[in-house]
């Protein structure tokens, strides 16, 4: 068995950024600015404004996330 050190796995993650779009190919992703960067969940509510759109019931949304460490952002 080969054991790896922490350095071999890379720098620890400091925080995350969360982005959402309206679920349409080509629509721009907007950063969710009130996400705390640490929580494993985020709740959008009807009527929230994110970027240039307002969250609606039954709307289609796509999410993406990036992670930041001491080296930079993924």
pLDDT per residue as tens, the chain (74 positions)? 556 555 556 789 999 999 999 988 888 999 999 999 999 999 999 999 998 899 999 999 999 999 999 889 98
- Helix or strand run (H / E) with residue 53: strand 53-54
**Cβ atoms of 7 and 44 closer than 8 Å:** no
Give how far the C-alpha of residue 17 lies from the chain's centroid of Cα atoms, to the nearest Å. Answer: 4
What pLDDT score was predicted for residue 7?
Answer: 55
Q: Is the pTM of this model over 0.85?
A: no
Question: How is residue 73 written in tokens?
Answer: 């952002």
Token pair 């960067």 is found at 37
């Amino acid at each position: 068995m080969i054991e790896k050190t922490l350095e071999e796995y890379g720098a620890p993650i400091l925080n995350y950024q969360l982005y959402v779009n309206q679920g349409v190919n080509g629509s721009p992703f907007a950063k969710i600015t009130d996400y705390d960067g640490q929580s494993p969940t985020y709740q959008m509510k009807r009527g929230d404004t994110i970027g240039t759109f307002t969250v609606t019931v039954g709307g289609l949304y796509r999410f993406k996330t990036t992670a930041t460490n001491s080296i930079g952002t993924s």
